[in-house]
């Protein structure tokens, strides 16, 4: 019996004891093929998935290496059936290859004719294929490169894509490291992406995903299309690129509702891309308007469905997805994998926190009691109104007011879902409210004032969930959310994770009504962060009023 | 003594010879035959011969086939000529088994053995009726040679379009008599011709050597680790399935066995594939840990509780030893615990496979090589060898059980097969842990096999999320509620967690437990048959204390409400009898006035009318008379016949079954066309006299034409009381 840090379970999960002296070494060894599922305080859970194993094959690891690693670090005997399964799954990858052929264009080549025969008979695949060239080769319609990869993956015979990428129009881009330095993990992430060709980089909020994007652009040295969630984010990207790279203002264009600039580096919003005019997507040409060498998808967990469809058509361009949480409430992780690419880099939040790149945060759930009258009203509310009712209960207002006064000297964000609740809070707290209808210009002014400390408290709706860079915010108070959305909770915490100038920790309060579905949703929302190692403390509203925090 | 028959040969054997025979054919002495002639009868009976032939290996079978092809009696030299020199040793083994015996004039085969070996042994056709000029074969036309090439190694039959219009090649063969027509579309190649063309050898290749097993060697350490992990896993699976059924029994199918839906439930519960789940269930079933009770529920037995208290080595031995000897194959496509899983050869094949692995040291043979070796050892002529899937199932099951580890026999498996001590399992098992690690995402991890008591308690209050050497538990509202339902209190749960967890219990979990405890049991549900309500609480109290209505079993659940175990009608009667004035209330709370007028809920079914018989038609009357007359005549004839046969029966000598058999065999050989007179006992032991023409003896029965009916009937030889020729 060895005394390794890893426990290999028969259901293909790997439990890593992080208090073990070999845990760091072991994590490095298993990271190429196992996906990190949860990273709470003591035992991290990794999972062996088919995607992960194929991914490892793509990166040049073979089954023997995987098996050796498992056996080497395992504390107990590794189930034999699991080892067989690993070898079996890994051997499925690479039997089919997509290649570029000088005569026939895109072709599907196999080393195993039986597999090819199987896939060309599949209903979903047949229409994507062209003429049979010989026993081992068949032509593929070049436009179907994405679709065929998707379908083959679903059949369990993933194709290795050797057809390569177009370089795109060259454009000189360099990182300009004056007065700052790219962090080690950012460099690893950018390199991991570049060697993999395309893929997704997962980094916690505030860990500098923009810089990973910039580093990737410096690798590509080509024209780049950046897709972001909204205009504020687009401006932040522009500012950041100007600061961190050799690009100047004329080289960066914004393509949004208000501006339609196409430059060597163009930043477009999802909203404008998916805007329909007379039933057709009016701005699709953007994808073809330039010979892009790189396409960056910011906040890839929010990517709207139409963008996936466009992405299927541009498989020959390099694609980089950036996100903090590859959790999609709509379960479209598989689409992200096959169309943007596999996960190329992932690191537990707590590890980055330990390196000091994101602020340590404390999560606190404040439970408020509904008054007797409120409870009765809640009990009789229509089912679809219930969440709204308990999330916006009046009692919360008093608690928020108390919390704000307790942290009067700090920069505070109050985040909520329901506009009338936010307006009400804004009035009570005497703080400005930013919501969907707030004009772009006003938003930026307010954010600027918040950054400089002119305003110490902002009330924001979900427009501020993502990509808003507010480094000095140290306190976030969440009063209501989009039901049980896990990624929203993580993104909101992300607003306060930027490292503070004085190294102060951040606090994230979630105000929840006791004994209602608000509490159930809160539990679901907290799951992602709990799995990342953030533990919540629960306190009572009365403790707040007595200043016991 | 001159050896004229098989029985004589057996009589000539000394004690050592008989013991050798009984060792290889143990069925001959269970039960012990009364004398040598009954032994001879049994040894040449078809079931015993089938068993003996099935126990031969490929090489011995080939030699036996060769012996059955050449004409009797034969010499050793003749046999070696049509096989090869090594056959000498096989011959000795066959003689030991009395599958070949030594008569006064040479070697012979016991009767029935050819029948057991089947037609067209070794792909050889029948002997030609006339002498063939085999030398002419060398000058056969090219077309004929092609035909011969196709048929020489069997099967000896060939299909043709029309025998009457053969192609030139075939025509020559037919004309020369080398090939004969069987029917319009089939021809057969004669045995002499095939043997001649085979160079006077029966088989293309005599496989005297057992094929070597090949595969990879498993390192002792990893072999042992793998086996231990398999053993722990299997014991855990068994425990989990039975605990699951202990809480929610499955229902057996009408036809017996576990239904597909219940199987799927187990499959999901364990997180294994369904073949594996079936096997786990089967093993628990054959070990007596689970049973189907009279109400068709599938439930763990008391034996299971006893089993639980054993150390792992004994638990394992219990399961594995039941598996070793069972004739059931859970790999078959039928319901586990059902009646359709038995295969007579299962245990033999299993034993052989394990013996092969035992001899292979720590080699993990490839399935092809194992199959080849197995089929050499058990050539099973009827089924064409052991089916490959049986082997697949057996090796798979051995792996699940931990008898093998990574395909090679584990030290524990070897100990089991050789009856050695198994306690090494207990010391080699990973040490159990008595603690868990609770994390802030409401999971708890047991970083190793948990101690039984801790695991049981945790099972109550948490759901298992991942199984293996370690276990991951998740606490949720429903899992904690389950604990409360089982009588745990919130404080107890928390105290237990604090005691078992090495890490502090996260605050959110503490809150979760608190919240659930607070809510649990707030709503109460019970059953009552009727209620009594009254706004006057004094009256309610009075009724509750009234001895006259004690029979109602009243309980006060609110100041104004009593519940009652009796139906509303009865309650009203009893209350009225006690002098109260109750009124009935319907489900909406409306007062019901007066007795309700009732109507039947079912459809009317008036009784059947029984009428007079109709007058029969003339035709029907005529038929009736005719039937009665015929019957009358027939019974008169029967009684005359009975008289005659009773008379004849008196003169019949009584003979034992073995004597009868000898007389009949002799009669059939010497003058088969003559009729016999026999006494035959029916099911009730009544002996009747029959005149018969014997046709054939097979499988302990005599086929004969009965003169009385003219039909061919089967007479069971033990029931024939005596025989006489007419």
User: Does B73 sit behind a cis peptide bond, omega within 30 degrees of 0 on the bond before it?
Assistant: yes
Determine what percent of chain B is predicted with pLDDT higher than 90: 13
Please, is B709 exposed, middle or buried when counting C-beta atoms within 10 Å of its C-beta (0-12, 13-18, 19+)? exposed
CA distance B487 to B457: 12
CA distance B408 to A393: 67
Region A428-448: mean pLDDT is 86
CA distance B200 to B549: 105
Region B316-336: mean pLDDT is 90
Q: Residue B9: which pLDDT band, with cuts at 50, 70 and 90?
A: confident
Both structure tokens of B617: 């038609």
- Residue from B216, B397, B511 to probe the interface with A (highest A Cβ count within 10 Å): B511
Q: Which of B296, B398, B392, B303 is nearest to B337 (CA)?
A: B296
Q: Is B292 helix (H, G, I), strand (E, B) or coil?
A: strand
pLDDT tops 80 at residue A405: yes
Q: Which of A42, A66, A92 delimits the end of a domain?
A: A92
pLDDT tops 80 at residue B634: no
pLDDT tops 50 at residue B54: yes
Do A496 and A368 lie in one domain? The reply is yes
Report A:76-105 residues touching B (Cβ under 8 A): 76-80
Do A13 and A127 lie in one domain? The reply is no
Do B179 and B70 lie in one domain? The reply is no
Q: In this predicted structure, what is the pLDDT of residue A466?
A: 64
Q: For chain B, say whether A11 makes contact (Cβ under 8 Å).
A: yes
pLDDT tops 60 at residue A15: yes
CA quadruple B553, B556, B562, B563: dihedral positive or negative?
A: negative
Q: Residue B3: which pLDDT band, with cuts at 50, 70 and 90?
A: confident
More confident residue, B553 or B636: B553
pLDDT tops 90 at residue B495: yes
Both structure tokens of B124: 């050889």
Do B172 and B37 lie in one domain? The reply is no
pLDDT tops 80 at residue B163: no
More confident residue, B653 or B52: B52
Within a domain: residue B190? Answer: yes
Q: In this predicted structure, what is the pLDDT of residue A393?
A: 85
pLDDT tops 50 at residue B220: yes
Do B161 and B223 lie in one domain? The reply is no
HSE, CB side, 13 Å, CA atoms: give it for residue B301: 13
The partner residue sitting opposite A9, judged by closest CB among B405, B468, B515, is B468
Please, is B416 exposed, middle or buried when counting C-beta atoms within 10 Å of its C-beta (0-12, 13-18, 19+)? buried
Which residues of chain B neighbour A549 with C-beta distances below 8 Å? none
Q: In this predicted structure, what is the pLDDT of residue B497?
A: 93
pLDDT tops 90 at residue B314: yes
The partner residue sitting opposite B430, judged by closest CB among A1, A533, A534, is A1
Alpha helix segments (H runs only) across A357-482? 372-380, 383-391, 394-406, 419-429, 440-452
User: Domain count of chain B?
Assistant: 6
Do A258 and A235 lie in one domain? The reply is yes
Do A102 and A75 lie in one domain? The reply is no
Which residues of chain B neighbour A533 with C-beta distances below 8 Å? 440
CA distance B108 to B119: 18
Within a domain: residue A143? Answer: yes
Within a domain: residue A396? Answer: yes
Q: Residue A215: which pLDDT band, with cuts at 50, 70 and 90?
A: very high
Do A238 and A220 lie in one domain? The reply is yes
Do B423 and B441 lie in one domain? The reply is no
Q: In this predicted structure, what is the pLDDT of residue A279?
A: 78
CA A295 to chain B, closest CA, distance in angstroms equals 36
A132-141, B403-412, B557-566, B686-695: segment of lowest average pLDDT: B686-695
pLDDT tens for A35-80 read 888 888 888 888 888 878 887 887 778 889 999 999 899 988 888 7
For residue B431, the 8-state DSSP code is P
HSE, CB side, 13 Å, CA atoms: give it for residue B82: 27
pLDDT tops 60 at residue A541: yes
ipTM over 0.85: no
A138-142, A221-225, A276-280: segment of lowest average pLDDT: A276-280
User: Domain count of chain A?
Assistant: 4
Q: Which of A299, A332, A351 delimits the end of a domain?
A: A351
Do A364 and A346 lie in one domain? The reply is no
Do B669 and B713 lie in one domain? The reply is yes
Which residues of chain A neighbour B430 with C-beta distances below 8 Å? 1, 76
Region A421-432: mean pLDDT is 90
Do A229 and A319 lie in one domain? The reply is yes
Do A147 and A36 lie in one domain? The reply is no
Within a domain: residue B510? Answer: no
Determine what percent of chain B is predicted with pLDDT higher than 70: 93
Q: Is B264 helix (H, G, I), strand (E, B) or coil?
A: helix
Within a domain: residue B206? Answer: no
Region B392-416: mean pLDDT is 90
Q: Which of B88, B118, B148 delimits the end of a domain?
A: B118
A295-299, A528-532, B381-385: segment of lowest average pLDDT: B381-385
A325 Cβ contact list (under 8 Å, min separation 6): A202, A301, A486, A487, A490, A491, A528
Within a domain: residue A53? Answer: yes
A151-155, A231-235, A337-341, A419-423: segment of lowest average pLDDT: A337-341
Region A521-544: mean pLDDT is 83
Q: Residue B620: which pLDDT band, with cuts at 50, 70 and 90?
A: confident
Within a domain: residue A179? Answer: no
Which stretch, A220-224, B22-26, B109-113, has highest mean pLDDT?
A: A220-224
**CATH number of the domain encompassing residue A343:** 3.40.50.300
Region A286-293: mean pLDDT is 77
The partner residue sitting opposite A15, judged by closest CB among B440, B470, B519, is B470
Within a domain: residue A118? Answer: yes
pLDDT tops 80 at residue A33: yes
Q: In 10 A of CB B600, how many CB atoms?
A: 6
Do B189 and B271 lie in one domain? The reply is no
**CATH number of the domain encompassing residue B80:** 1.10.10
Q: Do A43 and B445 touch (CB under 8 A)?
A: yes
Q: Do A79 and B233 touch (CB under 8 A)?
A: yes
Contact A456, A408 (CB under 8 A): yes
Q: In this predicted structure, what is the pLDDT of residue B707?
A: 78
CA distance B494 to B509: 9
Do A285 and A364 lie in one domain? The reply is no
Region A82-107: mean pLDDT is 86
A251 Cβ contact list (under 8 Å, min separation 6): A171, A263, A264, A265
Which residues of chain B neighbour A527 with C-beta distances below 8 Å? 441
- Residue from B236, B410, B432, B441 to probe the interface with A (highest A Cβ count within 10 Å): B441
Sheet holding A35-38, edge to edge: A6-8, A13-17, A43-47, A35-38
Within a domain: residue B283? Answer: yes
Within a domain: residue A175? Answer: no
Q: Residue B611: which pLDDT band, with cuts at 50, 70 and 90?
A: low
Q: In 10 A of CB B508, how many CB atoms?
A: 22
Q: Do B439 and A534 touch (CB under 8 A)?
A: no
Within a domain: residue B100? Answer: yes
The partner residue sitting opposite A77, judged by closest CB among B229, B503, B506, is B229
More confident residue, B49 or B654: B49
Distances (CA, A) of B633 to B401, B627, B629, B638, B647: 72, 10, 6, 9, 22
Within a domain: residue B222? Answer: yes
pLDDT tens for B574-608 read 998 888 888 888 877 777 766 667 777 777 877 77
Region A251-268: mean pLDDT is 87
Q: In this predicted structure, what is the pLDDT of residue A1?
A: 45
pLDDT tens for A488-512 read 888 888 888 887 777 778 889 999 9
The partner residue sitting opposite A40, judged by closest CB among B230, B399, B441, is B441
Do B33 and B154 lie in one domain? The reply is no
Bridge-based pairing of strands A361-368 and B561-564 is: unpaired
pLDDT tops 70 at residue B638: no
Do B535 and B388 lie in one domain? The reply is no
Do A444 and A472 lie in one domain? The reply is yes
Do B412 and B266 lie in one domain? The reply is yes
Within a domain: residue A242? Answer: yes
- DSSP output for A119-171: HHTSTTTGGGEEEEEETTEEEE-GGGHHHHHHHHHHHT-PEEE-S-----SB-
Q: In this predicted structure, what is the pLDDT of residue B644?
A: 67
Which residues of chain B neighbour A75 with C-beta distances below 8 Å? 447-448, 469
pLDDT tops 80 at residue B208: no
- Residue from A77, A515, A533 to probe the interface with B (highest B Cβ count within 10 Å): A77
Give the domain range for residue A417: 359-545
Q: Do A10 and B437 touch (CB under 8 A)?
A: no
A370-384, B455-469, B544-558, B650-664: segment of lowest average pLDDT: B650-664
More confident residue, A265 or A58: A265
Do B558 and B471 lie in one domain? The reply is no
Give the domain range for residue B464: 437-502
Do B191 and B114 lie in one domain? The reply is no
Do B476 and B451 lie in one domain? The reply is yes
Report the predicted TM-score, pTM, of the whole model to 2 decimal places: 0.68
Q: In this predicted structure, what is the pLDDT of residue B280?
A: 94
Region B284-311: mean pLDDT is 90
Q: Residue B637: which pLDDT band, with cuts at 50, 70 and 90?
A: low
The partner residue sitting opposite A11, judged by closest CB among B222, B405, B468, is B468
Do A77 and A151 lie in one domain? The reply is no
pLDDT tops 80 at residue B528: yes
CA distance B395 to B404: 8
Q: In this predicted structure, what is the pLDDT of residue B323?
A: 93
A66-70, A390-394, B323-327: segment of lowest average pLDDT: A390-394
Please, is A248 exposed, middle or buried when counting C-beta atoms within 10 Å of its C-beta (0-12, 13-18, 19+)? exposed
Q: How high is the mean pLDDT of chain B?
A: 84
Q: How high is the mean pLDDT of chain A?
A: 84
CA quadruple B157, B158, B160, B164: dihedral positive or negative?
A: negative
CA distance A419 to A425: 10
Do A41 and A125 lie in one domain? The reply is no
């Amino acid at each position: 019996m060895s005394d390794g840090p890893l426990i290999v379970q028969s259901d293909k999960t790997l439990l890593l004891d992080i208090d073990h002296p070999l845990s760091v070494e072991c994590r490095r060894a298993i990271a190429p093929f196992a996906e990190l599922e949860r990273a709470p305080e003591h035992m991290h859970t990794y999972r062996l998935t088919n995607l992960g194993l194929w991914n490892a094959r793509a990166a040049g690891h073979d089954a023997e290496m995987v098996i050796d690693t498992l056996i080497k670090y395992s504390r107990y005997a590794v189930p034999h059936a699991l080892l067989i399964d690993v070898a079996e799954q890994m051997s499925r990858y690479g039997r089919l290859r997509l290649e570029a052929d000088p005569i026939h264009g895109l072709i599907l080549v196999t080393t195993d004719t039986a597999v090819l025969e199987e896939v060309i008979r599949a209903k979903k695949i047949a229409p994507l294929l062209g003429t049979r060239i010989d026993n081992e080769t068949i032509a593929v319609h070049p436009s179907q490169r994405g679709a065929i990869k998707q379908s083959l993956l679903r059949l369990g015979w993933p194709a290795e894509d050797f057809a390569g990428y177009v370089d795109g129009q060259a454009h000189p881009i360099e990182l300009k490291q004056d007065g700052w330095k790219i962090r080690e993990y950012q460099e690893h992430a950018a390199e991991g992406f570049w060697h993999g060709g395309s893929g997704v980089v997962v980094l916690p909020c505030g860990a500098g995903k923009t810089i990973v994007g910039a580093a990737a652009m410096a690798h590509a040295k080509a024209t780049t299309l950046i897709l972001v969630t909204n205009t504020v984010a687009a401006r932040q990207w522009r500012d950041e690129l100007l600061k961190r790279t050799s690009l100047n203002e004329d080289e960066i264009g914004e393509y949004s509702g208000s501006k339609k600039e196409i430059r060597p580096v163009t930043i477009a919003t999802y909203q404008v891309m998916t805007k329909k005019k007379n039933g057709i997507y009016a701005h699709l040409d953007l994808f073809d308007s330039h010979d892009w060498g790189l396409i960056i998808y910011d906040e890839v967990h929010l990517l709207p469905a139409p963008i996936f469809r466009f992405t299927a058509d541009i498989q020959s361009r390099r694609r980089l997805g950036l996100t903090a949480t590859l959790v999609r409430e709509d379960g479209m992780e598989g689409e992200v994998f096959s169309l943007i690419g596999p996960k190329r880099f992932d690191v537990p939040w707590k590890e980055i926190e330990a390196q000091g790149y994101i602020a340590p945060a404390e999560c606190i759930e404040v439970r408020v009691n509904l008054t007797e009258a409120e409870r009765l009203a809640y009990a009789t509310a229509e089912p679809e109104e219930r969440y709204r009712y308990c999330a916006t209960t009046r009692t919360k207002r008093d608690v928020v007011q108390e919390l704000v006064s307790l942290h009067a000297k700090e920069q505070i964000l109050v985040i909520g879902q329901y506009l009338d609740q936010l307006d009400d809070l804004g009035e009570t707290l005497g703080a400005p409210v930013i919501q969907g209808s707030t004009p772009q210009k006003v938003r930026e002014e307010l954010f600027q004032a918040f950054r400089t400390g002119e305003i110490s408290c902002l009330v924001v709706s979900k427009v501020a969930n993502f990509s808003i860079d507010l480094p000095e915010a140290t306190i976030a108070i969440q009063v209501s959310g989009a039901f049980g959305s896990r990624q929203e909770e993580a993104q909101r915490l992300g607003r306060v994770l930027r490292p503070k100038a004085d190294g102060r920790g951040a606090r994230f309060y979630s105000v929840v009504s006791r004994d209602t579905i608000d509490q159930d949703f809160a539990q679901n929302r907290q799951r992602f962060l709990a799995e990342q190692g953030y533990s919540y403390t629960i306190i009572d509203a009365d403790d707040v009023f007595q200043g016991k925090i | 003594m001159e050896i004229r028959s098989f029985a004589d040969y057996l009589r000539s054997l000394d004690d050592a010879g008989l013991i050798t025979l009984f060792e290889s054919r143990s069925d001959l002495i269970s039960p012990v035959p009364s004398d040598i002639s009954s032994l001879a009868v049994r040894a040449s009976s078809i079931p015993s011969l089938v068993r003996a032939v099935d126990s031969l290996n490929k090489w011995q079978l080939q030699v036996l086939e060769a012996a059955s092809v050449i004409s009797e009696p034969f010499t050793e030299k003749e046999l070696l000529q049509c096989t090869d020199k090594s056959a000498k040793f096989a011959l000795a083994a066959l003689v030991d088994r009395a599958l070949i015996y030594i008569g006064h004039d040479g070697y012979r085969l016991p009767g029935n053995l050819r029948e057991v070996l089947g037609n067209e042994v070794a792909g050889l056709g029948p002997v030609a009726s006339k002498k063939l000029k085999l030398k002419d074969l060398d000058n056969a036309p090219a077309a004929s040679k092609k035909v011969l090439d196709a048929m020489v190694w069997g099967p000896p039959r060939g299909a043709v379009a029309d025998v009457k219009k053969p192609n030139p090649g075939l025509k020559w063969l037919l004309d020369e008599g080398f090939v004969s027509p069987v029917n319009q579309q089939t021809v057969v190649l004669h045995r002499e011709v095939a043997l001649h063309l085979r160079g006077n050898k029966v088989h293309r290749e005599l496989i005297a050597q057992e094929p070597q097993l090949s595969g990879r060697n498993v390192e002792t350490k990893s072999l042992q680790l793998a086996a231990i992990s398999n053993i722990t896993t299997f014991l855990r699976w068994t425990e989990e399935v039975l605990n699951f059924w202990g809480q929610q029994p499955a229902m057996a199918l009408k036809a017996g066995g576990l239904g597909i839906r219940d199987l799927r439930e187990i499959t999901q519960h364990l997180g294994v594939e369904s073949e594996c789940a079936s096997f786990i269930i089967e093993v628990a079933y054959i070990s007596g840990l689970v049973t189907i009770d009279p109400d068709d529920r599938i439930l763990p037995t008391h034996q299971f509780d006893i089993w639980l208290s054993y150390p792992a080595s004994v638990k394992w031995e219990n399961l594995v030893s039941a598996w070793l000897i069972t004739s059931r194959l859970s790999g078959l496509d039928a319901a586990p615990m059902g009646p359709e899983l038995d295969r007579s050869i299962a245990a033999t094949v299993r034993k052989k496979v394990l013996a092969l692995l035992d001899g292979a040291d720590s080699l993990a043979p490839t399935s092809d090589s194992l199959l080849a070796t197995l089929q050499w050892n058990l050539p099973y002529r009827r089924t064409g060898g052991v089916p490959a899937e049986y082997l697949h199932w057996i090796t798979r099951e051995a792996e699940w059980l931990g008898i093998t580890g990574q395909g090679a026999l584990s030290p524990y498996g070897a100990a089991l097969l050789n009856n050695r001590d198994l306690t090494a399992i207990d010391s080699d098992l990973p040490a159990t842990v008595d603690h868990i690690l609770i994390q802030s995402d409401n999971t708890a991890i047991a970083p190793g096999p948990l101690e039984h008591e801790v695991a049981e308690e945790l099972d109550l209050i948490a759901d298992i999320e991942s199984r293996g050497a370690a276990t991951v538990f998740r606490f949720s509202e429903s899992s904690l509620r389950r604990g409360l339902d089982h009588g745990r209190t919130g404080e107890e749960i928390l105290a237990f967690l604090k005691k078992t967890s090495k890490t502090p219990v996260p605050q959110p979990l503490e809150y979760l437990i608190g919240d659930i405890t607070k809510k649990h049991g707030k709503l109460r549900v019970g059953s009552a048959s009727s209620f009594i309500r009254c706004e006057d609480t004094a009256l309610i109290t009075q009724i509750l204390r009234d001895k006259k209505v004690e029979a109602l079993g009243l309980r006060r659940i609110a100041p104004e409400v009593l519940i009652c175990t009796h139906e509303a009608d009865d309650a009203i009667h009893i209350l009225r009898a006690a002098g109260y004035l109750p009124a009935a209330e319907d489900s909406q709370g409306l007062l019901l006035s007066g007795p309700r007028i009732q109507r039947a809920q079912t459809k009317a079914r008036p009784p059947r009318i029984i009428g007079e018989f109709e007058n029969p038609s003339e035709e029907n009357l005529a038929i009736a008379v005719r039937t009665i007359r015929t019957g009358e005549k027939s019974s008169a004839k029967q009684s005359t016949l009975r008289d005659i046969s009773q008379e004849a029966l008196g003169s019949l000598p009584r003979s034992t079954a073995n004597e009868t058999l000898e007389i009949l065999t002799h009669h059939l050989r010497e003058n088969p066309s003559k009729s016999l007179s026999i006494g035959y006992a029916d099911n009730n032991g009544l002996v009747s006299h029959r005149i018969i023409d014997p046709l054939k003896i097979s499988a302990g029965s005599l086929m004969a034409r009965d003169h009385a009916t003219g039909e061919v009937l089967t007479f069971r030889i033990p029931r024939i009381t005596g025989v006489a020729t007419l």
